[in-house]
Structure 1
Amino acid sequence: MNAVDFSRSPHRRLNLLTGEWLLVSPHRALRPWQGQTENIGGDGRPEYDSTCYLCPGNQRAGGEKNDTYDSTFVFTNDYSALLEHTPVVETCEENLLKSVSEPGICRVICFSPRHDLTIAQMEVAEIRGVVDLWHDQFKELSEKPEINYVQIFENKGAAMGCSNPHPHGQIWAQHHIPTEPGKELAQMQRYYSRHGRTLLQDYLAVELRQQKRIVCRNESFVALVPYWATWPFELLILATNHHPNLLTLSNQERTDLAAIIGEVTVKYDNLFHTEFPYSAGLHQAPTDLADHPEWDLHMHFYPPLLRSASVKKFMVGYELLCGPQRDITPESSAELLRNLSSVHYTLEEQSEIG
């Protein structure tokens, strides 16, 4: 059998977390590109915006007034996708049309009182405040008997459907385990039952040996482009020690998580000199009162940008009809991100001017 160079030839990669396959076509990355390559900087937002419903002291659309907060701030979403007191009811029409009600809680977290910042522009101590709030919210929500899964996430940028640039994220806590974490749970349980070890700890050991897809790391966390990455600059943050959720992190590990989130988001912004859009979220063990020795805390970053600040990847054609596909290999993406500065490009530009 002839050897195949997977860095140049079409091939499929298995997503260990979902059990699904991805088509990789690295030869397509060599085709000529005559599209946009411009950089787009920030929009010069003020530190405080009197019209912003997330800024301190301002009135929200639902009529409530924000606290005059000076660090982080959390409130129940005025237009929640989930409602806490929804009764659990199942229906099935003609043995085919099945529905089940979904009680839950949706909260909004403001990362900073400053309207003009993003996570990438915050100090590690400020991001640590966000991590601490994530921890406290997860603890509170996970203790509610009707809540079996807590999803903490951030949509950054208009490209990801974020309608307000004020730095913020969300928490959706619900009765049933959602689809994507459910896929990961099945894969993790299957691997743990066979090997007596966790899937992600074994996977991280492989990545640390190969060093091909590592972007950055510290004592407690590693950021890498996963072997099965779908999005051009997708990242996965993994803990070097086994943790099912935020509650088992030490004080230093919380700081290290804040630090690596800060470093990753700075590299993203530096890639195209823009406020790099993404959807990011923590995947933690379900809160269904079952033991989950198979689960490792991890964080996904799914950014849409492909070749510049305005050229995005979309799921179209083959991807909608068959499955995900990418051109640039995860190894190439990791190398590009790894070699970027960890100092935000706006600060470097200021030092050059000075």
Structure 2
Amino acid sequence: MNADPERASGLWEERWHPLREEWVVIAAHRQNRPWSGAVVSIDEAPKPSYVADCYLCPGNKRVGGASNPDYESIYVFDNDHPCVGPEAPEDVVLPPGPYKARRANGLARVISFSPNHSLTVAEMSHKTISEIVRVWQRQTFELGKRPEVNHVLCFENKGEVVGVSNPHPHGQIYATNFVFKTIEQELTASRRYHQETDRYLFADIIAAEQADGRRILYEDEHVIAFVPYFARYAYEIYLAPKRCVSHIYALRDDEVEALARGLKNVTVRFDNLWQMSFPYVMALHQAPTDGGDYSPFHFFIAFHPPLRRPSVLKYLAGPEIGGGNFISDTSPEAKAAELLAVPTIHYREREEEQ
């Protein structure tokens, strides 16, 4: 089934988001409307491999006073300004009903992906990306075993437009005494779907994407990456193992290597789209770690890029913030076609070869 991307960009319909159990309005005819609102600029000035005042570069002093070792690969440390942590006050003042309060317990960590200040995931080797995946595995397993931790969220915020203050390639881990709301929604949806159909929701999502084919960006024996049918952001991508596992640490070695190849493919496509370091929020969607039965939950990685044009953000406004329903200004099929059309060799690497 091959639809013309230009024709698909005129879509105007609602699509069901089965993981969130809500409707997404696809109003793709609005993408090319006249825009006189705010625009953003992306700093594409070359970055050095080391910056003396960067708190993530090897050997430098961090904002909390500790110094980084002269690390040569991946470096993980406790966040100097955690949102949850063992030092959170225990004497929480309980408010009158209907309000509630509890201690913000857990652990927050930072993963410096590389000692090289200028190197993003898209430009890393497959070997380095595989090492990042294995760090996610170890951290999820080790932190998830702690009695005060009920969920482990690994994520990367990339680019100034998503609020990143330090461009050094890094991600974060929040190991919390609560389960993040999106995971709760996806878990509820996955359980309900399994109870009603005796089938697994994400497996059927993968099957539906394979049957259509237009939105698949990368696929091998073990993993698949696609712009979901119900995408809320213009260039939203899901990357998932084909085998249903609830946590990243359950992946086999061959699946880890495949996931690394998928991460490379997706991030290179992003950068090559407009030949710039593409901003995004990337999050690992994993089941809780409290020992419950989460077999219907399928681990996956989601990319949420904030741009719908090279200089135009997807702004959340009345319908999203006030109404609670997402409106997408783009067609998932057209955006997937754009990403499929770009090379899978990073543009900077091609420039160096010329």
Q: What range is the shorter-chain TM-score in?
A: over 0.9
Q: Report SS of the residue matched to 2:258.
A: helix
Cα distance in 2 for partners of 1:245, 1:88 equals: 30
Q: 1:46 deviation in Å? A: 0.9
User: Is the Cα–Cα contact under 8 Å of residues 40 and 273 in structure 1 kept in the other structure?
Assistant: no
Q: 1:21 deviation in Å? A: 1.4
Q: Which moved more, 1:96-105 or 1:62-71?
A: 96-105
Other-structure match for 2:99: 97
Q: 2:256 aligns with which of 249, 254, 271?
A: 254
Other-structure match for 1:288: 290
* Residue type of the alignment partner of 1:144: R
User: Is the Cα–Cα contact under 8 Å of residues 74 and 109 in structure 1 kept in the other structure?
Assistant: yes
* Residue type of the alignment partner of 1:236: Y
Cα distance in 2 for partners of 1:131, 1:56 equals: 21
Q: 2:332 aligns with which of 321, 327, 330?
A: 330
User: Is the Cα–Cα contact under 8 Å of residues 41 and 273 in structure 1 kept in the other structure?
Assistant: no
User: Is the Cα–Cα contact under 8 Å of residues 37 and 307 in structure 1 kept in the other structure?
Assistant: no
Taking the TM superposition and a 5 Å limit, the aligned residue runs for 1:57-136 are 57-84=59-86, 86=88, 93-136=95-138
User: Is the Cα–Cα contact under 8 Å of residues 89 and 100 in structure 1 kept in the other structure?
Assistant: no
Q: 1:162 deviation in Å? A: 0.7
Q: Which moved more, 1:39-48 or 1:154-163?
A: 39-48
Is 1:159 the counterpart of 2:130? The answer is no
Cα distance in 2 for partners of 1:21, 1:88 equals: 40
Other-structure match for 1:311: 312
Q: Report SS of the residue matched to 1:319.
A: helix
Unaligned runs of 5+ in 1: none
Q: 1:40 deviation in Å? A: 5.6
User: How many residues end up aligned between the 2 structures?
Assistant: 347
Cα distance in 2 for partners of 1:345, 1:36 equals: 28
Q: 1:254 deviation in Å? A: 0.5
Give the direction of change, closer, same or farther, for the CA distance of 1:289–1:38 in structure 2 (3 Å limit).
closer
Unaligned runs of 5+ in 2: 1-6
Q: 1:227 deviation in Å? A: 1.2
Q: Report SS of the residue matched to 1:57.
A: coil
User: Is the Cα–Cα contact under 8 Å of residues 226 and 330 in structure 1 kept in the other structure?
Assistant: yes
Q: Report SS of the residue matched to 1:306.
A: strand
Taking the TM superposition and a 5 Å limit, the aligned residue runs for 1:1-354 are 8-31=10-33, 42-84=44-86, 86=88, 93-308=95-310, 310-322=311-323, 323-351=325-353, 354=354
Q: 1:48 deviation in Å? A: 1.2
* Residue type of the alignment partner of 1:266: V
TM-score by length of structure 1 reads 0.92
Q: RMSD value over aligned CA atoms?
A: 2.2
User: Is the Cα–Cα contact under 8 Å of residues 104 and 147 in structure 1 kept in the other structure?
Assistant: yes
Q: Report SS of the residue matched to 2:297.
A: coil
Q: Report SS of the residue matched to 1:56.
A: coil
Q: Deviations over 1:186-228 (max 9, x none)?
A: 1011111222322101110111111021111222111111111
* Residue type of the alignment partner of 2:313: K
Give the direction of change, closer, same or farther, for the CA distance of 1:36–1:186 in structure 2 (3 Å limit).
closer
Cα distance in 2 for partners of 1:189, 1:348 equals: 46
* Residue type of the alignment partner of 2:262: I
Give the direction of change, closer, same or farther, for the CA distance of 1:286–1:11 in structure 2 (3 Å limit).
same
